[in-house]
Structure 1
């Protein structure tokens, strides 16, 4: 019996870290890098994405982002990175008959150190002619707060009382976009976003011996907010497209102050997978691994996209999460642990 146990432990360790690869299908993989900066907050941030578009109109996107300056240092660039949020987006482009455009159902899962975001949505896109196109989109964004952030304790009548201090929230998101591609070198786009939200459960703050229900505020002491963005993309080549955008966004929840948000970045497409005319011959895979700590008893998951350039190199992006409840296998109370991009 003792020999059986000794053999069982390494087997469990092997099963919990064994990666699973799945071919994502022929298509095109795009690498995106974006840097952002807000004019009043003066905090820098970066986002990295890998996007794979298949020949049958499926799209898979993996992303993560960080901010610089330790959370409170202004104008710090590429130093003291912290925070971090990651996400997965899956969508399908369905072309309608008789030139009536297309509809695009999508699902996004987002992760950070203190919440999980679930965001289903539906987009309708229509092309008026070769130059002008437009789209409308609706998304419902539900944020579930992690167990560690959900509760606090307070001393009431000499006893410690545990109470719910942070609520989950739900937000309706409406987008309208107008695009112009009549210039050979540039594409122009304008997007207007409207948000309307509220808490989906009750939570409280404790002050001076009493509990008071938390109120949802998005902008200017109201439950709604909006953003608008103007974006210009430079068509440098079929593969490389730098872009710049400026947005009008809110400054905080309690005033009507607005600020500008600047973004600069680029999309680089690796060409068509397995095409002789491509700059690389490559295949893109999904990568997934499940982890389990034999001593800590926490389950975790790692998943992402991995592009293999026919023995000439590789690039991958992975999101790593763990369940905050011990011995819970299902995706119940996930938060992010870390993200990584790797290559060689």
Structure 2
């Protein structure tokens, strides 16, 4: 090999690579080296080739797949007091660590992070997996070159393109909540939530509520209240008027801002900016019980498990090279469970107070 290198005026490593048709060696150089080797009768040693191949396979360093966890810069207001994003990210990170995946977080929607810039960053860094975590309804679509990425959405049913999605089972949460409230003796049960929450979650809260309500006597059916996002005092005023108009005895909502969480005195608190006492005037059942509030009863949603399931699904897609928007997107729903709390005692207990 050294003789071939000397005649060709190149390094012996170049000769070795040329004889193995390595793409980094120019075609003209490769042909010249092959001709010189043939002229002087040089023949590659097959045993040495086999040894080198085995050694390189053992020593090869494989770059672990990289995943982008993309959040909406404007979505923090949607999860006041719930710690939603940290819990989802905790689940995502746990799977990434266990499967040796690198993970980077990007907040899309800031002045410095547009979809075009994000696309450029992901491509240049070799990131081939994207998790889209809970975008507000104002973001209708994200213009990335999706043919280059494997992708899964967390919540964000409205967001285009249509991708596989993993979310909490909000329909099951509403149905389970209503069943437990009726078991506790409540009959005038009402649902209050924001119109954009309904849009973002594909109306799963209201569909579960209405399905359960249809099984009950007509005189016990309360029309759901959908309000626009705004000042909490204004929203609370609407909720108070609706409660009084329809004689609601138990309120179901995913809005923790509607209750004075920190004013719980062991037996009661109030709806925010109102004179209504909880639970004496109206019981309060959360559709997404916040952590660290044992006095609030309702549905505990497993946000961490949503993150785990989404990351597991994306990891499989990345490793099997499934890229782009699927023809038939899948939807995975993670159920929640009921938890007792002081804000929703049995109605018979309230009657004795």
TM bracket (short chain): under 0.3
Q: Please report the TM-score for the alignment, with normalisation by the length of structure 1.
A: 0.21
* Largest Rg, 1 or 2: 2
Greater relative contact order structure (CA < 8 Å, 6+ sep) = 2
Normalised by the length of structure 2, the TM-score is: 0.21
Structure with greater strand percent: 1
Structure in which a larger fraction of residues adopt helix: 2
